[in-house]
A and B are shown apart, each in its own frame.
Chain A
Amino acid sequence: MIQYASIILIMLGLYGLLTNRNVIKIIISLNVFEIGLNLFIISVGYVDGGLAPILTGNSTSVLSFVDPLPHALVLTSIVIGVGTTALGLAFAKKIYAKYGTYEIDEMGVE
């Protein structure tokens, strides 16, 4: 059930995107959305009682590992998220330089 918390996080992100009209807040909502997503991805690979997917000297084959693939995917997803966030912030800065505000409503119609 705990994995549904991440769905709620995703929904929070969407809610933020729906209601916010501030560039920075939109980026933060986007981050919330992505974090929810990433948590969900990881939760998909979880196995009850599973070990971290690292082979160590004292591990035995009896124990099962959790699914390592979502971990790898989430790593990629996180990095991509960092990239887009950086870019988004850069655009936010550009927007600020152009309009002098972060509020979309105050920018007027182009």
Chain B
Amino acid sequence: MNPVLLIAIPLLFAFLSIMNKKFARPLLLVALLLDVYLVFTISKGLYSIGGFSQYGINLLVDQYSLIGLMVVNVVFFLTVVTNCKEVKRLSTVLLVALAGVNGLLLTNDLFNLFVFLEIVGISAYLITSGNKRPLATFNYLVQGTVGSGLYLLGLILLYSMTGTLNMALILPTIVDKAIPLSNLALPFMLMFIGLGVEAKLLPFNSWVKGVLQNANALTSVLIAGVFATTIALTFGRLLSTVFVLGSISNIVLVILAVTMLAGEVAAFASKRIREVLLFSAIAQSGLIILLFANGLVIPAIMLIIANIVSKYILFTITGKMVDGTKTDEIESLQGVFSKNKLVGFAFTVASLSVIGLPLFFGFIVKLNILTSLFSQYQLFLSALILVVSLIEGTYFVKLLIKLWYSVGEVKTFKVDALVKVVTLIFALGLIVFGVYTKPLTDSLMTVPEEMMEAIAERGNF
């Protein structure tokens, strides 16, 4: 199947959906189902749009984007299914968002990437507009626009130097034309910052708090889970196949390291559960990008998968919990899980996986990350990661203990059976993958090679 359908179908349905509002939600579900089906049937390769080979726009399906597509589409689908009530009038937006997300993962063209970035960005603004904090969303919009503007600036500089927009051609062209790295520092930094805004990297992410701290389950899972994963994967592709960090790598590493540290420390200092989770999400995205920036693709993808699954569980349950109890102060949520054991179990498993304790998938990921970092002899970074994950573990354990054990009266909340089932399955998945990882690691093995293949062939068909 042609992967462009992954983008075309949601778009088509989006256009159709505004003609009659009644069909919007069913259309969304159908589109999601179709996409999930398609993801598992498309085959690898380079797909041209309009038949202009490497001079036009291409979609690239390799192991990397395939894994990304599977994860993102499935989680997107489940998010919508488990939050059917919240979807309401957002169906069209979600359809467009789905198209944008798939586009970001598939595209092999820098400018096309910008367009999809904007699509995803605008849908994100609209999705977050539901939390009744227009100022926060406005803030997000301004920052997002500046960010994508900077990305565009960097892109056009790059174009003027290389004369191409094809991601697979940039690197070969740089080599061919022998463009010195110092000349490339500015465009790459601009693009890095532009994407960094969306990827929640530290100095550029003041939007996150406002947007996520009041978000419901749907919004938070989409923004912190699906979109973040997509952006991270996009970022990862750029960092691994397009960017030549060269002289700016120090600045980039500092930014990423500070992001990680600041996220965890801020989460440590937070008293509200959603804030804790959102800061933790910031730190995680910092870590993911950090891995990509160091060329550690496989651990990064593993982390992305672990992250989206656990973030799905955490944010969904938190959203439902906050909905049900009308509060997100950890102090007043004490002991909520004693009445909702299944949900509590899923939440606990997800947190333990995020902390990186054995028997859970997060542990395998952490081990992988550290092994790779040490094989590069990155002593300082790995020490930082350990320190950071100590802080992370501390507040997560604190959170868990508070949520399981009460001192006073216990608030209750109701969770649909569907949410229970889905989160439970995800939690079990974390355990299963934590014990038996071979299929996943095997399928990841070929990712870096395949990523480089397109470049080696210069985007030819």
Q: Do A and B bind each other?
A: yes
Residues of A within 8 A of B (CB): 10, 14, 17, 23, 26-27, 30, 33-34, 37, 40-41, 44, 69-70, 73, 76-77, 80, 83-84, 87-88, 91-92, 94-95, 98-99, 104, 107, 110
Taking CB atoms, residues of chain A closer than 8 Å to B142 are 17, 26-27, 30, 88
Taking CB atoms, residues of chain B closer than 8 Å to A26 are 142
Chain B stretch 107-155: residues in CB contact (< 8 A) with chain A: 111, 115, 118, 122, 125-126, 129, 133-138, 141-142, 145-146, 149, 152-153
Q: Looking at the assembled complex, report how far the CB atom of B188 sits from the nearest CB atom of chain A, in whole angstroms.
A: 17
Q: How far is A37 from B148 in the complex, measured between Cα atoms in Å?
A: 11
- B413 on the interface (CB 8 Å rule)? no
Once the chains bind, are A91 and B149 in contact (CB under 8 Å)? no
Once the chains bind, are B134 and A95 in contact (CB under 8 Å)? yes
Considering only CB atoms, which chain B residue lies closest to A34 in the complex?
B149
Q: How far is A98 from B160 in the complex, measured between Cα atoms in Å?
A: 45
Interface of A is mostly: helix
Residue among A33, A98, A110 making CB contact with B149, cutoff 8 Å = A33
Interface of B is mostly: helix
Knowing that A95-B135, A104-B135 touch, tell me 16 more A-B residue pairs with CB under 8 angstroms: A17-B146, A30-B146, A34-B149, A73-B111, A76-B115, A80-B115, A80-B118, A83-B122, A88-B145, A91-B125, A91-B129, A91-B138, A92-B138, A98-B134, A98-B135, A110-B210
Residues of B within 8 A of A (CB): 111, 115, 118, 122, 125-126, 129, 133-138, 141-142, 145-146, 149, 152-153, 156-157, 159-160, 165, 210
Scoring B133, B153, B156 by chain A CB atoms within 10 A of each residue's CB, the highest score goes to B156
Once the chains bind, are A30 and B145 in contact (CB under 8 Å)? yes
Using known A-B contacts A30-B145, A83-B122, A87-B125, determine if residue A37 contacts B153 with beta carbons closer than 8 Å.
Answer: yes
Residue among B115, B125, B149 making CB contact with A37, cutoff 8 Å = B149
In the assembled complex, 17 residue pairs joining A and B whose CB atoms fall closer than 8 Å, in A order, are A27-B142, A37-B152, A40-B156, A41-B152, A69-B165, A73-B156, A83-B118, A84-B122, A84-B145, A88-B138, A91-B138, A94-B129, A95-B134, A104-B135, A110-B133, A110-B135, A110-B136
Once the chains bind, are A23 and B160 in contact (CB under 8 Å)? no
Considering only CB atoms, which chain A residue lies closest to B126 in the complex?
A87
Residue among A44, A83, A88 making CB contact with B159, cutoff 8 Å = A44
Taking CB atoms, residues of chain B closer than 8 Å to A41 are 152, 156
Taking CB atoms, residues of chain A closer than 8 Å to B125 are 87, 91
Once the chains bind, are B138 and A23 in contact (CB under 8 Å)? yes
- The 6 closest A-B CB pairs, nearest first, are A94-B134, A91-B138, A44-B160, A95-B134, A41-B156, A80-B118
Once the chains bind, are A44 and B156 in contact (CB under 8 Å)? yes
Q: How far is A101 from B138 in the complex, measured between Cα atoms in Å?
A: 14
Taking CB atoms, residues of chain B closer than 8 Å to A44 are 156-157, 159-160
